[in-house]
Structure 1
Amino acid sequence: MILSSTITCPICRFQATETMPIDACQYSYECKGCGATLRPKAGDCCVFCSYGTVPCPPIQTLGRRDGCC
């Protein structure tokens, strides 16, 4: 399981590598570049699945996006 993911802000394109929680989805994230609060895109369970380079651990474990968190 991969526990780090690089989030790219869709507003300012700032990138930050973050450690993901192992047992939960993260529903909001504050961009370290512009301060915007990111929320998951429709159909995604968390900000890592929407804006990260690696999906969240629950998705990695389940292997699918439905019924994640």
Structure 2
Amino acid sequence: MGTIMEATLQSEITCPECGVKSLEQMPTDACTFFYECKGCGTLLSPKDGDCCVYCSFGSVKCPPVQLGADCCAQPASRPSDA
């Protein structure tokens, strides 16, 4: 029988601006494109080449990436693009 892989669903996001860390539950049915830092209020968005804030700033990549799949679709326009 094959091995069943399970994804880790918690990741600690670290704000690159103020260094505040926050343990967050990752969704399994959506990507998180934006995250507001609980310390300084900075709005984080994925770095180029990453699919979500967990892949850019988290201690653990998002569930689809952990399981070897492509992550969500590319983010829609960002607030600064409007």
Larger RCO (CA under 8 A, 6+ residues apart)? 1
Normalization by structure 2: what TM-score?
0.76
Give the match's secondary structure for 2:8: coil
Following superposition, which runs of at least 4 residues in structure 1 exceed 2 angstroms of deviation? none
Letter of the structure 2 residue corresponding to residue 35 of structure 1? G
Which one of 50, 58, 61 corresponds to residue 52 of structure 1? 58
Contact kept, 8 Å, 1:26 with 1:48, in 2: the verdict is yes
RMSD: 1.0
Identity of aligned residues (%): 59
Give the paired residue count: 66
Normalization by structure 1: what TM-score?
0.90
Mark the runs of 5 or more structure 1 residues left unpaired by the alignment: none
